[in-house]
Amino acid sequence: MSETILEAEGLTKEFAGFTAVNNVNLAVRRGTIHALIGPNGAGKTTVFNLLTKFLTPSAGVIRYKGRDITAMRPADVARLGIVRSFQISAVFPHLTVRENVRIALQRELGTSFHFWRSEKSLARLHGRADELIAAVGLAGYEDVLAVELPYGRKRALEIATTLALDPEMLLLDEPMAGLGHEDIDRISALIKKVAADRTVLMVEHNLSVVATLSDTITVLTRGRVLAEGDYETVSNNPEVREAYMGTGHA
Amino acid sequence: MTNGTAKLGTWAGAALLAVAIVLPFVVYPVFVMKALCFALFACAFNLLIGYVGLLSFGHAAYFGIGSYVTAYTVKAWALPPELGILLGTAVAALLGVVFGWLAIRRSGIYFAMVTLALAQMVYFYALQSPWTGGEDGIQAVPRGHLLGIFDLNEPLVMYFFVLGIFLLGFFIIHRTIHSPFGNVLKAIRENEPRAISLGYKTDQYKLLAFVLSAALSGLAGSTKSLVFQLASLTDVYWTMSGEVVLMTLVGGLGTVFGPVVGAFIVITMENYLARYGSWVTVIQGIVFVLCVLAFRRGVVGEIIAFVQRRTVRAPGAATPAHAPGE
């Protein structure tokens, strides 16, 4: 078994008397695709926001590569190499596809506060940006405004932008939400490709996607971990089956 | 921005510059100088709302403090005009650091209210403290000699000095928008959580934009105090904050020339409708309502939209509607 890269211990989040996430332990192993599933309201997205520091946990510890990141701010977590996506596709709508990717690349130049410098100085990033755009199958769309892309391609653009940071770990919040069949196949293939040398943690509703992609699955209900294991183990777990009854999935 | 609008922008800029050079020979120079000061003020305001998406309702504070500091230092300390203006701008920038640091923690209506409250504090300070002259303001401010050489009491010399300051400020704003920093600002305006998730500490970017906007507003106020040889409570009153919002909206929010056009429209209305007394406000209100109802993008915004529609409709135009690979 490979080493743990991201670890949560006793993770808890309370919202004014309501416990959304209750004492969750989670260990994501390096180089795997780990899926977080569960019925609506199970606290998946909350766990996600806690891990990326978009929410502050009420209790518990989060460790990334053995380092305690519980008190860190979201931008700092991103700089450590944990980059997240969002449920609603996260692009910059009125920037072009190339500008979207370039925003992610430009931070490395260290000139992001230089308001006196011409943006022409960013042109040297275009080669790398176009490579990333081509890698997700968006070649030819470089100068299109992101808002004009069909939904599936926005998702691809979002992945290209995320990859521009060369993160060690990707957190994908429902990457398939709102996608049509052909897009699901394309984005699945993309995630698989991307995960070859990275670690992926994703929240996903589409169980066939979860079944084909994930190495490990954690099932949440009512803010607690119900079961964990590979698809085989989890799908045969009677409690999991019961939790999913009536939601039309399992 | 498409090629068509970019080209239009260059042409419009050249045409406006030509007009600006000829104008003082045709129109009363003080009127044009006033319009230029407000145009710079509106452009500085637009940097914040148009490119960061933050609606400040307290920009009079920076305009006013710049105006007071320059008027005071030039009159009481007999500083040369260029130093007085620099000092006014610097104090406005410092005020921007403090107020911005407090205000950027909130967004939307809360941001507007925080900036308004802070600006009202500056108003009461200007009303109460001895050096600002209370209700009288600071009057008979000497214009002095620029760099000890050019006599700014000559209307045309003063005019080209003001035009120079406006162009400098306009250039700084234009460059800021089209800089690596400006690119991050646009990303924050478009999708702040995503910008954070890409590792940007968005508060720091917003603060720098806020300070730049405050400093340039201060520059506009400083220049204005030399043009009118007066710093008064009007400069720091909340209606001044409202006026700059009006100018920017009428001209076109988030466009390069919109605030300039808006400032000229509003100042012209004030100037030529002055004989109708308090009816000016009513007429302004009607214009504002019409503007919001009929052309929400403002004068320049509508022109740009019109040109873009025509470019899209023109055959063979470079519209990326169908990219390869579909």
Looking at domain B26-311, its CATH architecture is: Orthogonal Bundle (1.10)
Query: Would you say the ipTM is above 0.95?
Result: no
Q: Concatenate the DSSP letters of all residues of A204-235 into one string.
A: -S-HHHHHHH-SEEEEEETTEEEEEE-HHHHH
Question: Quick check: B38 and B269 in contact, CB under 8 A?
Answer: no
> pLDDT higher for A245 or A68?
A68
Minimal CA separation from B64 to chain A, in Å: 25
| Tens digit of each residue's pLDDT (9 = 90 or more) over A28-79 | 888 889 998 888 778 888 888 888 888 888 888 999 988 898 888 888 888 8
Over 60: is that where the pLDDT of B320 sits?
no
- Quick one: pLDDT band at residue A248, thresholds 50, 70, 90? very low
* CB-based contact, B54 to chain A, within 8 Å: no
Q: Cβ–Cβ of A93/B190 closer than 8 Å?
A: yes
**Cβ–Cβ contact B200 with A under 8 A:** yes
Look at residue B310 and give its three-state secondary structure.
helix
pLDDT band at B322 (very low <50, low <70, confident <90, very high): very low
- How is chain B split into domains, by residue range? 26-311
Does the pLDDT at position A234 exceed 60?
yes
Rounded-to-integer distance, Cα B235 and Cα B225, Å? 9
Starting at the edge strand that comes first in sequence, how are the strands of the sheet with A59-64 ordered?
A18-29, A4-15, A59-64, A67-68
| pLDDT tens column, B219-250 | 999 999 999 888 888 888 888 888 899 889 88
**A83 - beta bridge partners?**
A170
Rank A157-161, A192-196, B43-47 by mean pLDDT and report only the highest: B43-47
Instruction: Give the one of B180, B199, B320 whose C-beta lies nearest to A109's C-beta.
Output: B180
- Is the CB of residue B142 less than 8 Å from the CB of residue B75? yes
Segment B121-132 shows an average pLDDT of 88
Cβ–Cβ < 8 Å for A95, B187: yes
Residue of B nearest to A109 (CA): B180
Whether B308 contacts chain A with CB within 8 A: no
Chain B positions touching A78 (Cβ under 8 A) are: 196-199
CA distance B8 to B31: 27
Q: Do B201 and A73 touch (CB under 8 A)?
A: yes
Check CB contact of B324 with chain A, cutoff 8 Å: yes
| Cβ <8 Å between A106 and B195 | no
User: Which token pair is B187?
Assistant: 């990303």
Q: Say if B148 is an interface residue toward chain A (CB within 8 Å).
A: no
Please check whether residue B281 is in contact with residue B243, taking contact to mean a CB–CB distance below 8 angstroms. Answer: no
A74 token code pair: 């979201």
Chain B residue at shortest CA distance from A97: B320
Q: Which of B180, B200, B201 sits opposite A117 (nearest CB)?
A: B180
- Provide the 3-class DSSP secondary structure of residue B119: helix
Tell me, what's the pLDDT at A245?
60
Amino acid present at A237: N
- pLDDT tens sequence across A200-219: 998 888 888 888 888 888 88
pLDDT of B63 reads 95
Contact across the interface for B181 and A84, Cβ inside 8 Å: no
